Structure 1
């Protein structure tokens, strides 16, 4: 092919250089959009950590953890003993939630307090929990009149979730 070209054209072709590619784009320094994305991720991470810290210190979280401990050991307890421990726990929760006067309530008044409002417990279970600390296991009515463990625990959990 070169033989067909004139010496002028050949001289001009000799002056041409190969195409040079630009350098590859580096990751550093980052573009402003990446800095914004990194800042958003760090801010979100800090917000989640702060939320988890305060959530774990919340009254509801602590009360539900104590209820979970009671739930684990409930199979070995008599219903009266379980209701007594639930009564103590619910008293502590009510007092910690700001109702200091609830610590002075007992039996009938405590049952009424547990039943208050739409979010209250059923009267039978609230009465059982309220009277359990004042009765002995062997002097309690027949077993068919006692609520089962799961209903005591479930109603107490529902009450805790609604009142904390």
Structure 2
């Protein structure tokens, strides 16, 4: 009789899978994350571009030849911007208009912003310091209104 002895070996464990290329699920996750990043970047870029346009519009209004014309132009811009928040806001008069412009920041009812009431009709020279304070206050409020914030 012919007897063969078999040589037994231990079980061979296959090599671990390579981390590259990743599984299809990881590719989908990467593509989704990339799409979200592109969308956020596009949203940020458009928002920044829109804000620059609003600032340029305000600066063009401030480029009027005299302080009285500047106050009138800024007042008109504020009224147009107010319609973005409340369609009836441009019809407000006097103290109601100032309270609306105060919003959350203040400064119109009891500050440099009071110029907006009658400053566009003055024949006299407007104090340059008061005009600068009004411009800064009006710029901040104009940008808030254009962004739709009350």
Normalising by structure 1, we get a TM-score of: 0.56
Whose helix fraction is larger, Structure 1's or Structure 2's? 1
Aligned residues: 125
Residues 146 and 77 from structure 1, CA distance in 2 versus in 1: closer, same or farther, beyond 3 angstroms? farther
Which sections of structure 2, spanning at least 5 residues, go unmatched? 1-17
Match of 1:69 in 2: 57
Note if 1:119 corresponds to 2:100. Answer: no
Q: CA RMSD in A?
A: 3.3
Separation in 1, partners of 2:35, 2:102: 46
Calculate the TM-score normalised by the size of structure 2. 0.60
**Which stretches of structure 1, 4 residues or longer, exceed 4 Å deviation after superposition?**
50-53
Change (3 A) 1:88 1:68: same
Judged with a 3 Å threshold, the aligned counterparts in structure 2 of structure 1 residues 39 and 145 are, in CA distance, closer, same or farther, namely closer
Which one has a bigger Cα radius of gyration?
1
Q: What is the CA deviation profile of residues 114-159 of structure 1, one whole-angstrom value per residue up to 9, with x for unaligned ones? A: 235x5122434222112234x15xx23x4338723x3222101222
Pairing of 1:8-157 with structure 2 (within 5 A): 30-32=21-23, 35=27, 36-50=29-43, 52-53=45-46, 55=47, 61=50, 65-71=53-59, 74=62, 77-97=65-85, 99-115=86-102, 118-122=104-108, 123-133=110-120, 135-136=121-122, 139-140=123-124, 142-144=125-127, 147-148=130-131, 150-157=132-139
Extract unaligned runs of 5+ from structure 1. Answer: 1-24
